Structure 1
Amino acid sequence: MRPISYSRAGAVADAVAAVAADPTSDFLAGGTTEIDLLRQNVMLPRRLVDINDLPLGRIEDRPDGGLYIGALARMSEVAEAPAVRERFPMVAQALVLGASAQLRNMASMGGNMMQRVRCAYFRDATSPCNKRDPGSGCSALDGFHRGHAVLGVSDHCIATHPSDVAVPLMALDARIHTEGPHGRQVYPIDDFFLLPGSTPHLEHPLEHGELVVGIEVPGLRTARTSVYLKVRDRESYEFALASAAVAVTVEDGVIGEARLALGGVATKPWRARRAEAVLRGAPADTETFRRAAREELVPARTTPLNAFKAELAQRTLVRALQSLTHPEIPS
């Protein structure tokens, strides 16, 4: 057994100072992923600093109609909050579809933003993995890669980002607030998640000891007309093969605002900007939706086992758009 020391922090500054001072330490919140990685010898901290006593669990209204969600707010609490359900339905839907009830009651919103990939090779401490051991190689490239990414991939990593709720947050231009050794930082969510490139072990721009303290969701009228659609191998708790977060406005049959993001098919929550550009000002019909979906998947880089994901992502995006604009069309 590996000895691990444990302490509980009573203030954000104390937690940050404790972890920043020790390169072998880490924060502990809900632990729904971290404990698994400890057991699998993927994470090897010598010290855990428990942050569950910190006052970071509130869900607060913002003057623009948006929300500030504390990093320790549990997924279940956020999913059930009336403000989330009414103003940001796709966020609530993604949270419910993202985990079992037991996990939602434990998992924190900040922890969800920081969760590690579900690649089996990353979680097997004996397999080469550039994300776990930089420079060792990517076992998934020539291995079993059916569930891996087709967008945002590199020669060094094709692991799919696992979060559900990060997908609608990406579509909504959420901002991640942190406290670290150098004070408060605010990251646009697209900058918070890094593409693997040649450094897949760097998943976020955070320095050691920098703690996620909250998520700011801007008040967008478009978000009230939104949906999160998830396609998976089984209906019960399972990770997405493809998912789509869609928020649109339509007037006189023409699309105005469009905010789209994809999950289950990319190395980070994927903002579908190419599809958005096709949709804006175009007729709200199935042909437009298909054209937008095709355009978004043009850069897809597939492998023999996951080539189906490019088509599946397109169909998922089209179906999500249809469900918002033409609910009478059968799913």
Structure 2
Amino acid sequence: MANRSQAPNAPSDGSSTAPLLQGDWLTRGAEGRFSAYLPRDGEVVRWTEQPDGSWSGPVSLGGPGPAGGLTPFLAVGQGVDRYVHLLALRPTAGEEGHVELVHSVQFQTGRPALEWRSIGHSNGKGPWTGNPAVAVDGRGRVYAFMRNGGGGLSVRAQKDAGGWHPWWDLLGSKTDPSPVAITNGSGFVELFSSHAKGLVRYVQRESGARPLREELLPASVTMGTLAATTGPSGHVTLFYLDQDGQVRAWSPERSLEPTVLGKAVGTGRLSAGRCLIDGSEQTVLAQQSADGRLALAAFPSEQETEGIQWSETGERHGELAAVLTRGGDGRLVAMARVGTGAPITTRQKASAEGLVLEGWRSIG
């Protein structure tokens, strides 16, 4: 059983050979083609889906700075304009052990990304304090969240006319090193984190405003397992593991208290997405099982009382992380990072009933 104040595999800057990922690192462009992003060898690389369904890449999107390359971390967010925003961590020149947050953006599928630009550190300067999270509001403004040295959360947001606001301290303490940022159906940004004593939510109530910290909800939580999705109602649901290894769902705007969906198949982080199954809107969860395979579970969106049943897919791997999204036809598209290698991907079969996947294949 994991201690509630500790992630099952506590991440740290540069401590793992495999990349650390936050957000939607598999994105779909305006023309319907996908792009996948990973940090590799001190930079970010991208694979691009071609019109015939094959993939090209990897292509370097750069990243090295005066003090060397990027750390093995990447957070990705996408707005309704389909622009893809990339956040990475880069060592700071002249400050041993210090890092800074850097930002880039890709405007069109397959095109070069903008030059990486520093947006600083939540404490002005300092070492790794946690894995940043990113969300893009309904007007295309980026919100970069980062745990600060006091263990609370800070955010830096883009201005309407360009540039960035100063870092805003959102308060808090002893929060999860890997918070989850997401945009709700109203275009407002929400951030979820866990605490030694429960769950914490930060939410915007007005466009462009600073997210506000709500009262902590007492709960049993395993840090490092959080995932979230915006449902058909436009409200956000958070998924996480409790200390008994149960998957729970919490949706404050739907007045859904932490509700057990079923037993987890592993101890690591969950992934969440939505797709159509037999014409019905479904939420899909993914987690690496105890024997190393990726397991999926689906249930009717926002009907948590239906519970979940897991089904394992693919081969066994020592370490993987998954991302779930949907194609233009509504079907599920899954991708998994396997160690330090190229990602593998699969899609929901069009002609099959239920959630049946095609075979997994490498994209590069």
TM-score normalised by L of structure 2 = 0.26
TM-score normalised by L of structure 1 = 0.27
Highest RCO, 1 vs 2 (Cα 8 Å, sep ≥ 6): 1
